[in-house]
Amino acid sequence: MLEAVVNGLSNIDDIAVKAYEDTPDAHPGLAKDQTLAHLLSHQKQGRIISDNSSNWHASIE
């Protein structure tokens, strides 16, 4: 998830697709929920920021 954000993806749907590209049978809703959980964890650690919980940006390079 963090790598996807660092590489320029900011929309949670795009991040989820990238993060789960090696798991094509993953349920889209579950993948999005898991992506959000990971993003929130990275946000708490100060690695990424969100402007409105749907757009994410790296706070590190």
Overall number of domains in the chain: 1
d(CA 52, CA 19): 20
Return the pLDDT at 7.
93
Domain membership of residue 48 as a residue range: 2-58
pTM for this model (two decimals):
0.86
Neighbouring-strand partners of residue 11: 55
Return the pLDDT at 14.
95
Percent with pLDDT over 70 in the chain: 95
End-to-end CA distance of the chain: 14
pLDDT band at 48 (very low <50, low <70, confident <90, very high): very high
d(CA 21, CA 46): 26
